[in-house]
Amino acid sequence: MSDILDGVAVVGSANLDLVVEVSRPPLVGETLLGRAGGRFSGGKGLNQAVASARSGAPTRFCAVVGQDEAADVLQQTLADAGVVAAVRRSAAAPTGVAHVLAFDDGDNSIIVAAGANAELDTDDAVAGVAGAAVVLAQLEVPVGSIAAALQAGRTAGALTILNAAPAHASTVGMLADVDVLVVNETECTELGGVDRLHAAGAQTIVLTQGAGGVTLHRTDEQTLHIDAFRIDPVDSTGAGDAFCGVLAAALSHGESIEDALVRACAAGAVVAQHRGATTSALSPASITALVSSR
């Protein structure tokens, strides 16, 4: 049996996204007419796995889905993207679903019903990361399972990345097994800020700021800011997930974190210019073209 680590293993959520296009959020008690935006495969874990694979990295995905048609849709999406899926089907819970309100300016609001995602256990997670060079996880599934995946990855010598989304108090306790922590501004504030996260053991923090770009915070080093690519967004759903997936893929290929962050920003910009979080427009060529245009 080989001890060589290879590719990216993603542990996380898989949902069917139901998108409605509206001009604004509804008020409490209001019925607001919108436009059907379509059904798309989603969930932070699935989105990140698809982005990693579409950018050229061998990618595996560990998740739990239901015994339903939605699960069939998700598994087809993974297969089309070239992701090796270690997806278990729950005997009781339905596939997770996300209701996405897509606004005219490209922003969105999302409500998630976890469904089978809540059943992802530590055995699933530990088995799912075996042999990977990079382990990528988020927090839309049980946090104990994510902690186990990160610890197993670290023990095996993998680079571990945690996208602490949604923010969870247990994040701080996981940082000893996290090489790269990815948070947006809201999540960072909820977790106590960059200084507190550094003090808790996060040596490398990637702070994403949407159209404001990305700031890299490393212990005892100067911060590095990377500007966002200028685009006309169509749908920002999944842009942050594409960022994380391509960051993991680039690091698995041995790129420096500085170069990996530029490619990750480009990936997020490509996805934001298309409807749906798992657009086939994301590819090594589309990422490279955007990076080269800067």
Q: Cis bond leading into 166, ω under 30°?
A: yes
| 17 noted as active-site residue | no
pLDDT of the residue at 181: 98
Cross-sheet strand order for the sheet of 15-22: 35-42, 15-22, 96-103, 108-113
Element (H, E) at 281: none
Q: Cα(264)–Cα(259) distance, rounded to whole angstroms?
A: 9
Q: Cα(108)–Cα(124) distance, rounded to whole angstroms?
A: 31
Q: Cα(6)–Cα(31) distance, rounded to whole angstroms?
A: 50
Percent of residues, the chain, with pLDDT higher than 90:
85
Beta bridge partners of 65: 89
pLDDT of the residue at 1: 33
Element (H, E) at 275: none
pLDDT of the residue at 3: 59
The answer to whether the CB of 191 falls within 8 A of the CB of 166 is: no
27-36, 103-112, 235-244, 261-270: segment of lowest average pLDDT = 103-112
Please, which residues have CB within 8 angstroms of residue 63's CB and are 6 or more apart in sequence? Answer: 11, 12, 13, 14, 43, 45, 46, 85, 86, 87, 88, 117, 120, 141
Average pLDDT of span 111-129 = 96
What is the value of pTM for the model shown? 0.92
Q: Which of 17, 124, 235, 241 is catalytic?
A: 241
Confidence category of residue 276, pLDDT binned at 50, 70, 90: confident
pLDDT of the residue at 2: 44
Tokens of 133: 């060079």
Tokens of 52: 């990693």
Give the start-end residues of each E strand in the chain.
8-11, 15-22, 35-42, 59-65, 84-89, 96-103, 108-113, 134-137, 159-163, 180-184, 204-208, 214-218, 224-226
Please, which residues have CB within 8 angstroms of residue 90's CB and are 6 or more apart in sequence? Answer: 64, 65, 66, 67, 116, 119
Pairing status of strand 224-226 against strand 214-218: antiparallel
Estimate to the nearest angstrom the gap between the alpha carbon of 238 and the chain centroid: 8
